[in-house]
Amino acid sequence: MSRRPLLKADQWSALVDMPTDEESLIRHCTFDRAELDLIQAKRTPHNRLGLTIQLCFLRHLGRAILARAAR
């Protein structure tokens, strides 16, 4: 049985894309001291960047983003 998508691509995009307006970016991507300490504790720059992005999306979507499984 094939699965029918619940939303069209543009609807998914509107739902899950990171906001681009300044107010929303400030709300979702401003960190307190504890979060900054957690980010700084990561060893390499790409790990710090990855954690930062995950924290922003976690606040925006209410869940972490996952890597797509290879098909």
Within-domain flag for 22: no
Q: Tally the C-alpha atoms within 13 A of residue 43's C-alpha that lie toward its C-beta.
A: 0
Q: Which residues of the chain have a pLDDT value below 50?
A: 70-71
On whether residue 7 sits in a domain, the answer given is no
Q: What is the pLDDT of residue 41?
A: 96
Alpha-carbon gap, residue 49 to 53, rounded angstroms? 6
In a domain, 15, yes or no: no
**C-alpha span between 39 and 16 (Å, rounded):** 24
* Residue 1: predicted pLDDT: 64
Query: For residue 42, what is the DSSP state?
Result: S
Count of the separate structural domains present in the chain: 1
Q: Which residues form the domain of 61? A: 32-65
Q: 48 and 35 in contact (C-beta within 8 Å)?
A: no
Q: What is the pLDDT of residue 67?
A: 63
- Residue 33 CA to residue 13 CA, distance in Å, equals 32
Q: Does residue 21 belong to any structural domain of this protein?
A: no
Q: What is the value of pTM for the model shown?
A: 0.64
- The per-residue pLDDT for 71 is 46
Is residue 59 assigned to a domain? yes
Confidence at residue 42, expressed as pLDDT on a 0 to 100 scale? 93
